[in-house]
A = this chain, B = another copy of it.
């Protein structure tokens, strides 16, 4: 946990969020500025600032984040129509909160990659 991290505060329930899934490893909640009809962020409980800071020890956790996103897509019945998963890293990637997060976007045709 990082004291000043917005997403760590959401995990600690110090800041409210529209949570769609939680277990002992990850938390998923709706983006407050959705860019698609379904826009969920999947974050690890463990504070990792950027994907650059992930190590071999995080391999399973990172894979689990992707599988959790696919599960949420299924639960929201967008898995067949399709969806996009995005991790942004640092400024040129468009990362604004420095706690690794996976975007799940669905519900409309996704086009250019950025």
Contacts and interface: CB of A to CB of B under 8 A. Distances in A.
A89 B82 contact: yes
Given A62-B62, A66-B51, A114-B36, A83 B92 contact: yes
Contact of A113 (B35, B56, B66, B89): B35
Given A52-B74, A92-B110, A114-B105, A84 B86 contact: yes
A105 B113 contact: yes
Contacts of A18: none
A60 interface: yes
A12 interface: no
**Number of chain A interface residues as a range:** 35 or more
Interface of A: 35-36, 51-52, 54, 56, 58-64, 66-67, 69-70, 73-74, 78-95, 103, 105-114
Given A54-B70, A85-B86, 14 more contacts: A51-B66, A52-B73, A62-B63, A62-B67, A63-B63, A79-B89, A79-B90, A86-B113, A88-B110, A92-B109, A94-B109, A94-B111, A111-B114, A113-B114
